[in-house]
Amino acid sequence: MQLFESVFSQLPTLDTQRLTLRPLRMKDAPDLFAYASDPEVSRHVLWDTHRSLRDSRQFLRSAIRQYRKGLPGSFAIVLKDSGRMIGTIGFMWVNVEYKSAEVGYSLSRNYWNQGIMTEALRAVIAFGFDELRLNRIEAQHETSNPASGRVMAHAGLRYEGTLRQRLVNKGRYVDVALYAILRTDPR
């Protein structure tokens, strides 16, 4: 089994000061729905606003299926204080040949601007370099979502350029800013 496949099929739990990052589970559905049903949270991500608990269950089923196949997936972000699942962060894809990958994340609006995603991203980057032995980790955000760029910069990613109309999000072409960190970069 390839390294990536074996790590993704048994995603570990990562610990930070305020957070536990652990594999998603079906029991996360109510917490997930509580924030994924907020259109402000889904505005700049590629998934649609969850309309019912069914959408959240479907999201979790598909995440768990990814683990079973050993494919790149996301961690649940759990607040240690309350035990609440308040977001997700993880790998969207991995290029085995080039040892590169892209990270994506989202967080409940109740917890924005407290440094939580910066804390989570730092842990996932360390995991990517130390456990997955990656060489390059990318992240991209819509130019209309600068808070995400701040998170990337705080976690040591460097801005590499803006890609015009790279994606279609909710029916509209969007410009995205691309960031990356190399394993030799300061963290």
Ligand X SMILES: CC(C)(COP(=O)(O)OP(=O)(O)OC[C@H]1O[C@@H](n2cnc3c(N)ncnc32)[C@H](O)[C@@H]1OP(=O)(O)O)[C@@H](O)C(=O)NCCC(=O)NCCS
Residues sharing a CB contact under 8 Å with residue 62, sequence separation 6 or more, in sequence order: none
Q: Torsion angle, CA of 61/67/72/76, rounded to 10 degrees?
A: 70
Residue 96 has φ and ψ, to the nearest 5°, of -65, -45
Residues sharing a CB contact under 8 Å with residue 111, sequence separation 6 or more, in sequence order: 79, 86, 87
Q: Is 117 in the site for ligand X (CB under 6 A)?
A: yes
Site string for ligand X, 44-73 (x = CB under 6 A): xx----------------------------
Neighbours of 16 (CB within 10 A): 16
In the complex, the smallest distance separating the C-beta of residue 61 from ligand X, rounded to whole angstroms, is 21
Q: Which of 118, 135, 143, 169 binds ligand X (CB under 6 A)?
A: 118
Q: Which of 49, 145, 163, 180 binds ligand X (CB under 6 A)?
A: 145
Q: Where are the beta strands (DSSP E) in 98-182?
A: 100-107, 136-142, 158-169, 172-182
Residues shown for the chain: 187
In the complex, the smallest distance separating the C-beta of residue 10 from ligand X, rounded to whole angstroms, is 26
* Nearer to ligand X (CB atom), residue 46 or residue 53: 46
Q: Which of 24, 31, 148, 179 binds ligand X (CB under 6 A)?
A: 148
Q: Is 88 in the site for ligand X (CB under 6 A)?
A: no
Which window, 5-13, 73-81, 101-109, 165-173, contacts ligand X (CB under 6 A)? Answer: 101-109
Q: Is 174 helix (H, G, I), strand (E, B) or coil?
A: strand
Which window, 15-23, 55-63, 102-110, 165-173, contacts ligand X (CB under 6 A)? Answer: 102-110
Residues forming contacts to ligand X in the complex (CB under 6 A) are 41, 44-45, 105-107, 112-118, 141, 145-148, 150-151
